[in-house]
Amino acid sequence: MCGIVGYIGPKDAYPILIKGLHRLEYRGYDSAGVSLINQSGSLVVYKAKGKVAALEAAAEEKDISGTIGIAHTRWATHGEPNTTNAHPHYSQSHSLSLVHNGIIENYKTLRTELEKNGMTFQSETDTEVLVQLIEYLQTTHHCDLITAVHLALKNVIGAYAIAILDKRNPNQLIAARKGSPLVIGVGKGNETAAPGEAEFFLGSDATPIIEYTNQVIYLQDEEIALLNRNGKQLITNLESVQQTPQLVTLQMNLDELEKGGYAHFMLKEIFEQPNAIRNCLRGRIDRDTLSIKLKGVDESKDRLLTARRIIICACGTSWHAALIGKYFIEEAAKIPVDVEYASEFRYRNPVIDKDDVVIAISQSGETADTLAAIQLAQSHGCFVYGICNVVGSSIARATDSGTFIHVGPEIGVASTKAFTGQLVSLIMFGLALAKEKKTLSETLYHEIINDLTLIPEKMQQTLDNSKGIEQFAKIFTYCKNCIYLGRGYNYPVALEGALKLKEISYIHAEGYPAAEMKHGPIALVDEEMPVVVIAPRRGMYEKIVSNIQEIKSRNGRILSIVTEGDTQVKNMSDFCIEVPDTRDSFAPLLSVIPLQLLSYHIAVAKGRNVDQPRNLAKSVTVE
Ligand code: F6R
């Protein structure tokens, strides 16, 4: 939530900052702003309500010169999304400007104190307190800016990633983080660089940086960075002790950040799934011996094999993946698995044993609740295994071991390829454990792995079969509510299908285990209510046929997802989409694809902003 970009170096800062904001817009799009120290030495701030394009329009006639700047795209927490509350915020004297991602929990107390001491505030944000506090401490302690930043951050409760400009010192950029991510790019400069002149970039993630350098430092919690134009970079902790940063080479490809000819990132990401899953499997499945090699499991065998139970913590779509993971791991490795919403787990005093293993699943690796659940588990002595997409993310770094899903950057706010990548990673995890625990026969183990290798091709066939969805979607555009039903492995797919529809089309939708319908929800069914039923041939096919019958006899309209060649459910359905046959436990990997496409086409037909749905942000770094 909220994106931060920063630059200091020989180049013009503004175009770099704006391009960076576009890359980070998925993190929030309530407002955008930029601050520069321009050629004449003025500290300027330009901001606009809405998207980065609105900021560009607002800055059109303005002086956007300068080789140092910070910028922000906001997902509002404190204060409505308007220009005043947009970042960057000035300090009272207008000497400093600051951008922030996170929440300052004690901002009210700090603000009251500062107001008593004569500071005045322009906005309703928690962020403005930070910049005012820093200025106040600098003035009252007669110290330099970096010392004032240390003093201020020691007084702050909450989460922050910040970047600060000081008009009096155009040669330095200050950044700090706790609980919210911040990456420093170490650039190469260009021909306009003076001898010894360096360049640094800042980003909430690496996407604004990769174009210029692949050398990055992931700032750690409670670290403060002083980045100087002369190349000096000083990283200290809150106690002012110098830290030794680790320079990491990014493995990211610029093409992955573009739409590549697709109308939306979401559509591109749906279509990327066959290749994304190939990448997820690469190096982990040995096709000759039909065996799985997961480094994370190998490295932590002792802890994993002695686990009394596994608790999976996640949010949203990742939580749906966790539910499917539970079914698979219990079936294959015979370990009890509990699935928890991270936001509930962290606050409800759960019974946690040091011999439990916690799996944290997160695409972004930055979800605040999941991170807090990890910390809670670790404080009970649990071993925590991460399943993340973003390399270098907070969750990837906080977990004791783990697997990256390697599906490439996911930019559309609605998660698609990360979901299937998470499923495949959970399946590989379950299989690796099953092998060690000898809970599957050799024959079945090899058979399952063989089936897994066929999934990318079957995903491609599913995509090819789904061409008609755009037509159904037009009909569904007019519905106000929708029910999704599935059983067994496909029950979480029903939840996921309903979430996809809600979040991008704003149509109310609910997912249920099909058999639960008669315990209440069937009262909702009438000719106005579309019911999407996931009914592949394997699993509880006959049972779901009966459930469909119950809906049909109440005039419900059925859209079914069936196995290729099915006639029984197809004949009972108003609309039908076929997916290739696979084993029951792998059905979600295919059945979710038509549901992703259905939501996508409905949202497009309704004229929604598919990649940036209202009120949402890709990375939920506040609780
Ligand atoms: C839905 C969606 C969200 C995320 C959730 C967790 O399409 O994207 O529900 O799944 O916010 O995010 P991560 O996986 O980044 O922890």
- Is the CB of 318 within 6 Å of ligand 1? yes
Mean pLDDT for 484-510 is 96
- Is the CB of 394 within 6 Å of ligand 1? no
Ligand 1 centre from 376 Cα, in Å? 20
- Is the CB of 370 within 6 Å of ligand 1? yes
Pocket test for ligand 1, best of 361, 620, 623 (most atoms within 8 A of CB): 620
- Is the CB of 547 within 6 Å of ligand 1? no
Q: Is the pLDDT of residue 191 over 60?
A: no
Ligand 1 centre from 81 Cα, in Å? 22
The first and second tokens of residue 585, run together, are 């436990």
**Exposure of 348 by Cβ count < 10 A (0-12 exposed, 13-18 middle, 19+ buried)?**
exposed
Going by C-alpha positions, the residue among 533, 318, 312 that lies closest to residue 416 is: 318
CA angle 275, 280, 284 (to 5 degrees): 130
Q: Is the pLDDT of residue 189 over 70?
A: no
Going by C-alpha positions, the residue among 86, 70, 69, 68 that lies closest to residue 28 is: 86
The first and second tokens of residue 271, run together, are 């279509």
CA–CA gap between residue 564 and residue 462 (Å, rounded) = 10
CA distances 283 to 179, 278, 428, 435, Å, are 32, 10, 12, 17
Residue with tokens 């454990």: 433
**Which residues, in sequence order, are CB contacts of 134 under 8 Å at separation 6+?**
91, 96, 98, 145, 148, 149, 152, 164
pLDDT of the residue at 454: 97
CA distances 497 to 360, 464, 501, 572, Å, are 22, 19, 6, 21
Give me the catalytic one of 2, 313, 315, 388: 2
Domain residue spans of the chain: 3-255, 259-453, 464-612
pLDDT of the residue at 614: 86
Share of the chain above pLDDT 70, in %: 99
264 contacts 205 by C-beta, under 8 angstroms: no
Confidence class for position 192, pLDDT limits 50, 70, 90: low
pLDDT of the residue at 195: 64
pLDDT of the residue at 324: 98
Q: Is the pLDDT of residue 137 over 70?
A: yes
- Is the CB of 432 within 6 Å of ligand 1? no
pLDDT of the residue at 508: 96
Confidence class for position 193, pLDDT limits 50, 70, 90: low
Per-residue pLDDT tens over the stretch 291-347: 999 999 999 999 999 999 999 999 999 999 999 999 999 999 999 999 999 999 988
**Which residues, in sequence order, are CB contacts of 529 under 8 Å at separation 6+?**
479, 481, 482, 483, 556, 557
Q: Is the pLDDT of residue 489 over 90?
A: yes
CA–CA gap between residue 457 and residue 526 (Å, rounded) = 38
Going by C-alpha positions, the residue among 326, 539, 306, 302 that lies closest to residue 429 is: 326
* Residue with the larger pLDDT of the pair 258 and 505: 505
Per-residue pLDDT tens over the stretch 24-44: 988 888 899 999 999 999 999
Q: Is the pLDDT of residue 439 over 60?
A: yes
Pocket test for ligand 1, best of 75, 204, 265, 317 (most atoms within 8 A of CB): 317
pLDDT of the residue at 97: 98
What DSSP element (H or E) covers 199? none
**pTM, to two decimals:** 0.86
Ligand 1 centre from 483 Cα, in Å? 21
What DSSP element (H or E) covers 375? helix 368-379
Strands 160-166 and 96-101: antiparallel
CA–CA gap between residue 326 and residue 332 (Å, rounded) = 10
Per-residue pLDDT tens over the stretch 352-396: 999 999 999 999 999 999 999 999 999 999 999 999 999 888 899
Ligand 1 centre from 247 Cα, in Å? 29
Pocket test for ligand 1, best of 315, 503, 504 (most atoms within 8 A of CB): 315
Told to judge if 479 belongs to the known catalytic residues of this protein, a careful annotator would answer: no
Q: Whose CA is nearest to atom 13 of ligand 1?
A: 362
pLDDT of the residue at 374: 96
CA–CA gap between residue 474 and residue 464 (Å, rounded) = 19
In the structure, how many helices (H) and strands (E) does the chain have? 21, 26
Same fold, 259-453 and 464-612: yes
Going by C-alpha positions, the residue among 94, 172, 162, 86 that lies closest to residue 130 is: 162
- Of ligand 1's atoms, which has the minimum distance to the CA of residue 317? 10
Three-state secondary structure call for residue 92? coil
Q: Report the mean per-residue pLDDT for the chain.
A: 93
pLDDT of the residue at 334: 96
Mean pLDDT for 202-221 is 93
- Is the CB of 343 within 6 Å of ligand 1? no
Pocket test for ligand 1, best of 27, 390, 399, 415 (most atoms within 8 A of CB): 415
What DSSP element (H or E) covers 359? strand 357-362
Pocket test for ligand 1, best of 264, 266, 364, 426 (most atoms within 8 A of CB): 364
- Is the CB of 596 within 6 Å of ligand 1? no
Ligand 1 centre from 241 Cα, in Å? 36
- Is the CB of 595 within 6 Å of ligand 1? no
Per-residue pLDDT tens over the stretch 605-618: 999 999 888 888 77
Ligand 1 centre from 155 Cα, in Å? 32
- Of ligand 1's atoms, which has the minimum distance to the CA of residue 370? 16
Per-residue pLDDT tens over the stretch 64-80: 999 999 999 988 777 78
Could you give the count of Cα atoms lying within 13 Å of 21 in the half-sphere of its Cβ?
30
Q: Whose CA is nearest to atom 9 of ligand 1?
A: 316
Per-residue pLDDT tens over the stretch 566-605: 999 999 999 999 999 999 999 999 999 999 999 999 999 9
Ligand 1 centre from 373 Cα, in Å? 15
- CB neighbours of residue 288 within 10 Å: 6
Ligand 1 centre from 599 Cα, in Å? 16
Ligand 1 centre from 267 Cα, in Å? 17
Confidence class for position 197, pLDDT limits 50, 70, 90: confident
- Is the CB of 213 within 6 Å of ligand 1? no
- Asked which of 392-396, 402-406, 429-433, 482-486 is least confident by mean pLDDT, the reply is 392-396
CATH architecture of 3-255: 4-Layer Sandwich (3.60)
pLDDT of the residue at 80: 83
- Is the CB of 573 within 6 Å of ligand 1? no
pLDDT of the residue at 232: 82
Going by C-alpha positions, the residue among 212, 215, 227, 255 that lies closest to residue 16 is: 212
The first and second tokens of residue 111, run together, are 């603000």
Told to judge if 167 belongs to the known catalytic residues of this protein, a careful annotator would answer: no
Per-residue pLDDT tens over the stretch 88-105: 999 999 999 999 998 899
Q: Is the pLDDT of residue 166 over 80?
A: yes
CA distances 279 to 162, 275, 389, Å, are 34, 6, 12
**Which residues, in sequence order, are CB contacts of 473 under 8 Å at separation 6+?**
598, 601, 602, 604, 605
156 contacts 170 by C-beta, under 8 angstroms: no
- Is the CB of 316 within 6 Å of ligand 1? yes
Q: Is the pLDDT of residue 255 over 90?
A: no
Mean pLDDT for 428-432 is 97
Q: Is the pLDDT of residue 501 over 90?
A: yes
Q: Whose CA is nearest to atom 3 of ligand 1?
A: 316
Q: At 156, which amino acid appears?
A: V
Q: Whose CA is nearest to atom 4 of ligand 1?
A: 316
Per-residue pLDDT tens over the stretch 526-567: 888 899 999 999 988 888 888 888 888 888 889 999 999 999
Q: Whose CA is nearest to atom 10 of ligand 1?
A: 317
Q: Is the pLDDT of residue 455 over 90?
A: yes
Could you give the count of Cα atoms lying within 13 Å of 110 in the half-sphere of its Cβ?
24
Could you give the count of Cα atoms lying within 13 Å of 374 in the half-sphere of its Cβ?
27
Q: Is the pLDDT of residue 259 over 70?
A: yes
pLDDT of the residue at 196: 66
CATH 3.40.50.10490 fits 259-453, yes or no: yes
Mean pLDDT for 95-116 is 94
Q: How many residues does the chain have?
A: 623
pLDDT of the residue at 190: 59
Q: What is the DSSP string of 119-152?
A: ---SSS-SHHHHHHHHHHHHHHHT--HHHHHHHH
pLDDT of the residue at 612: 86
Ligand 1 centre from 321 Cα, in Å? 10
- Is the CB of 367 within 6 Å of ligand 1? yes
The first and second tokens of residue 229, run together, are 């134009």
- Of ligand 1's atoms, which has the minimum distance to the CA of residue 419? 10
Superfamily of domain 464-612 in CATH is Glucose-6-phosphate isomerase like protein; domain 1 (3.40.50.10490)
- Of ligand 1's atoms, which has the minimum distance to the CA of residue 500? 7
Ligand 1 centre from 546 Cα, in Å? 33
